Amino acid sequence: MGEFIIKMPDVGEGVAEAEIVEWLVKIGDPVREDMAVAAVMTDKATVEIPTPVSGTVVWLGGEIGDTIAVRSPLIRIETDGEDNGAAVPPPASVTTEEPKPEQAAPAEIPEKSSSPAPSTASPPPPRPATEMDKPLAAPSVRLLARDNGVDLRQIRGTGPAGRILREDVEQFLAQGMEVQPARQDLAKKTSKEEIKLIGLRRRIAEKMALSISRIPHITYVEEVDVTALEELRATMNGARKPDQPKLTLLPFLMRALVKAISIQPDVNAIFDDDAGMLTRFGAVHIGIATQTPSGLTVPVVRHAEARSIWDCATEMMRLAEAARAGTATRDELTGSTITISSLGALGGIVSTPVINHPEVAIVGVNKIATRPVWDGAQFVPRKMMNLSSSFDHRIIDGWDAATFVQQLRTLIEAPALIFIEG
């Protein structure tokens, strides 16, 4: 019997540790080559770790939520073949099946094969979606899912090559049933549930606490007349080419931000308060706060200053879909210099956006509503929208914050200005 140790792979440049977000196997489980055994997360990208060998799991390197250093042992697999484990002196802890990570010091672990990391660390370049990208499942399984209203993209297949099996769908359905509360009107409910924050939710919690505790926010709300912009948007959408996406308001706001930032570059910056250093950027990398099934992520539209409005829209859509599908790469989720938060679709007149640390500004978009506006002689119906923006008050004075938002308002109310050169 041989033993194979899978180590935490180097999942991204400059990443020293990663959090275990899911064990896909447990001790005693048989595993086959290429099967995913664990999901780990760094920053915001989740990566599945496959096993390069077949065998039986004898040891797991931690609990869900634990942070493991890169190249530390993650999982031990007992293999049948001599070839995989002949040279390994099995650590004493193996037979007891007790998790004793301290005994598995990295020095004791011989390199068995090249780390599985290279295949998972650098995701392949994006390519157009095809029939072959659809969730892998036999026609009978697809039918079962459809009849039960299940989107197969939600299910992780346990079959070979990630194939979704009938059992996977049935298990998913069974879990769904449990979540649905039984109808017990007026009955006392005494249960309580402790949920350990793991993965993305924990990241979000840490990040929000950091932003609010370190950054003195100033939030400024202004009302903007978007009637002209909405007319322009409808015209552009009506005349768009088949390969162009439907424009929402956000690409216009992105281009307006680029213009306003060229006048007030201070808002497009990151502030390292430990070092007392403000870094202003020529590039405008706009983070777009995006709701995904597992929580808030901020995919980044890079170099908005060098993108046309259509290009901004295309890239934003691509990133939002990737973020929702969980396929966005680490690079696509980091490196923003300013952020847009849009809750407009849900309604709401004002929000107090939390700055995406270590940035210094965030612009929030509220709902567009047709309101009566006094034009000096009468009330006229105008499409009005509020912008709720927060700034780091250590860097941006109230006067400058207001000037920036007023500049945005001017650009949005006369949208031709967004497109004028210089």
Partner 1 sequence: MKEIVCKLLVIGAGPGGYVCAIRAGQLGIDTVIVEASRPGGTCLTVGCIPSKALIHAAETLDATRQMANGKNTMGIRVEAPSIDLSGTIGWKDGIVDRLTGGVVGLLQKARVKIVSGRARFRDGKTVEVETETGQQIIRAETVVIATGSDPVELAALPFGGRVISSTEALSLRELPSKLIVVGGGYIGLELGTAFAKLGSEVTVVEATEQVLPIYDADLVKPVTRRLVERGIKVFTNAKAVGLSDKGDALVVEGSGGRQELPAEQILVAVGRRPRSVGSGLEDLDLDRSGPYLRIDDRCRTSMRGVYAIGDVTGEPMLAHRAMAQGEMVAEIVAGRKRAWDKRCIPSICFTDPEIVSAGLLPREARALGYEVKVGQFPFTANGRAMTMQGEDGFVRVVARADTNLVLGLQAVGSVVSELSAAFSMAIEMGARLEDIGGTIHAHPTRSEALQEAALKAMGHALHI
Q: Which residues does the annotation mark as catalytic?
A: 393, 397
Cβ–Cβ under 8 Å, residues 249 and 233: yes
Q: Is 160 in the site for partner 1 (CB under 8 A)?
A: yes
Tell the smallest beta-carbon distance from residue 329 to partner 1 (Å): 15
Q: Is 14 in the site for partner 1 (CB under 8 A)?
A: no
Q: Which C-beta is closer to partner 1: that of 132 or that of 275?
A: 132
At residue 401, the 3 state secondary structure works out as helix
Cα separation, 42 vs 20, whole angstroms: 9
Binding residues for partner 1 restricted to 104-133, rule: CB under 8 A: 119, 124-125, 127-128, 130-132
Q: Residues binding partner 1: what is the number (CB under 8 A)?
A: 23
In 3D space, the residue among 391, 388, 386 whose CA is nearest the CA of residue 355 turns out to be 391
Choices 154-162, 260-268, 290-298, 322-330 (CB under 8 A): range interacting with partner 1: 154-162
Choices 5-13, 135-143, 231-239, 273-281 (CB under 8 A): range interacting with partner 1: 135-143
Tell the smallest beta-carbon distance from residue 165 to partner 1 (Å): 10
Tell the smallest beta-carbon distance from residue 133 to partner 1 (Å): 9
Radius of gyration of the chain (CA): 26
User: How open is the CA angle 267-271-277, to the nearest 5 degrees?
Assistant: 120
**Is residue 279 packed enough to be buried (19+ CB in 10 Å), middle (13-18) or exposed (0-12)?**
exposed
Instruction: Report the residue from 90, 101, 159, 245 that binds partner 1 according to the rule CB under 8 A.
Output: 159
Instruction: Report the residue from 153, 163, 371, 382 that binds partner 1 according to the rule CB under 8 A.
Output: 163
Choices 5-13, 144-152, 209-217, 273-281 (CB under 8 A): range interacting with partner 1: 144-152
Tell the smallest beta-carbon distance from residue 39 to partner 1 (Å): 17
Cα separation, 56 vs 85, whole angstroms: 13
Q: Which C-beta is closer to partner 1: that of 89 or that of 139?
A: 139
Cα separation, 45 vs 47, whole angstroms: 7
Tell the smallest beta-carbon distance from residue 50 to partner 1 (Å): 9
Cα separation, 8 vs 42, whole angstroms: 11
Q: Is 276 in the site for partner 1 (CB under 8 A)?
A: no
Choices 103-111, 155-163, 201-209, 231-239 (CB under 8 A): range interacting with partner 1: 155-163
Q: Is 238 in the site for partner 1 (CB under 8 A)?
A: no
Cα separation, 170 vs 154, whole angstroms: 13
Cα separation, 28 vs 92, whole angstroms: 17
Q: Which C-beta is closer to partner 1: that of 138 or that of 210?
A: 138
Centroid of chain to Cα 113: 32
The interface mask with partner 1, positions 35-54, x = CB under 8 A, is: --------------------
Tell the smallest beta-carbon distance from residue 404 to partner 1 (Å): 42
Tell the smallest beta-carbon distance from residue 143 to partner 1 (Å): 9
User: How open is the CA angle 301-307-313, to the nearest 5 degrees?
Assistant: 60
Q: Which C-beta is closer to partner 1: that of 95 or that of 130?
A: 130
At residue 339, the 3 state secondary structure works out as strand
Q: Which C-beta is closer to partner 1: that of 14 or that of 125?
A: 125
Q: Is 292 in the site for partner 1 (CB under 8 A)?
A: no
Instruction: Report the residue from 15, 27, 64, 136 that binds partner 1 according to the rule CB under 8 A.
Output: 136
383 token code pair = 């499409």
At residue 106, the 3 state secondary structure works out as helix
Q: How many CB atoms lie within 10 A of CB 195?
A: 6
Binding residues for partner 1 restricted to 16-35, rule: CB under 8 A: 34
Tell the smallest beta-carbon distance from residue 154 to partner 1 (Å): 15
* Pairing assessment for the beta strands 338-342 and 361-374 based on DSSP bridges: parallel
For 241-310, give the DSSP string: -TTSPPP-HHHHHHHHHHHHHHH-GGGSEEEETTTTEEEE-SS--EEE-EEETTEEE--EETTGGGS-HH
The residues binding partner 1 (CB under 8 A) are: 34, 119, 124-125, 127-128, 130-132, 134, 136-139, 142, 146-147, 149, 159-163
